[in-house]
Amino acid sequence: MRVGFFSDVHGNWEALAACLKDFESSGLNKLFFLGDAVGYGADPDLVVEKVVEICDLKVLGNHDAAVIGLLSPDYFNQYARASFFFTREAMKPENLNKLKEFPITEIWDKFTLVHALPKDPESWGYISTLREAEENFAYFETQICLIGHSHRPFIVEKKEGESAVLLTTERIKIDPNCRYIINVGSVGQPRDGIPDACYVTYDNESAEIYFKRLKYDIKAAQEKMKKAQIPGYLVERLSVGR
């Protein structure tokens, strides 16, 4: 079985559309979503509808939480707040109700799925350092925890009795003697300096995790954002993956 994990689409239909084609051509058997369907981008309704349609499990992100009233817009910076107000006003009530059904965490097979971090997930904190990763291993029981939120893909591996280490590779074979925290990156708002959409596949026969990067029509996404009067900073950052 081959499955896909993706996160942080942020209303970017063009990026998700490119991934949808790749999901199909890759023959994925299941799809799992790690939060933030909305925010920043111009197509929140389209994204929510498609995520609900195709995903076997879905978890809530902080931008999703904000538009359904579970998180104050004051949590965000000025640019994210501006996109929040656009998103809330643009979305259909039925799609807001769909977001209300997303849980904070899910478990599938050997994976814990959570948007931000396993320790206190509704604080919407970040795992930005190895020290923070080390601390979070104590807060999930499965072998692997998959996250999004920072829009930066990474793999942290931990052997029992040893310190966690950062792995810098796009493909790994899961070691049965190790545990992992893996950030699957972002489909619609990459921030690791690469503007291509990012998601993760897992093959349970080979036990391999693989990061996939896909080009998409960034200019089309940006034109929609400009038309929606989303702040220019958010529009331009798509081009540079920052």
How wide is the angle at C-alpha 82 spanned by C-alphas 76 and 87, nearest 5°?
Answer: 100
Residue 118 has a pLDDT of: 97
Q: Where are the beta strands (DSSP E) in 100-207?
A: 105-108, 111-114, 144-147, 154-159, 165-167, 171-173, 178-183, 197-203
pTM recorded for the entire structure: 0.96
- The CB-side HSE value for 5 (13 A sphere, CA atoms) comes to 27
- The answer to whether the beta carbons of residues 200 and 154 sit under 8 Å apart is no
d(CA 221, CA 238): 9
Q: Is the pLDDT of residue 10 over 90?
A: yes
Buried b (16+ CB within 10 A) or exposed e, 53-83: ebbebbbbbbbbbbbbeebeeeebeeebbbb
Tens-place pLDDT, residues 121-165: 999 999 999 999 999 999 999 999 999 999 999 999 999 889 999
Annotated domain spans of the chain: 2-240
Which band of pLDDT confidence, cut at 50, 70 and 90, is reported for residue 17?
A: very high
Query: And the tokens for 169?
Result: 């590779």
Tens-place pLDDT, residues 91-123: 999 999 999 999 999 999 999 999 999 999 999
Which band of pLDDT confidence, cut at 50, 70 and 90, is reported for residue 75?
A: confident
DSSP state of 162: S
Q: Is the pLDDT of residue 82 over 90?
A: no
Which band of pLDDT confidence, cut at 50, 70 and 90, is reported for residue 74?
A: confident
Q: Is the pLDDT of residue 208 over 90?
A: yes
Q: Average pLDDT, stretch 163-168?
A: 93
- The answer to whether the beta carbons of residues 152 and 39 sit under 8 Å apart is no
d(CA 193, CA 141): 32
- The CATH class, in words, for 2-240 is alpha beta
How wide is the angle at C-alpha 74 spanned by C-alphas 137 and 149, nearest 5°?
Answer: 30
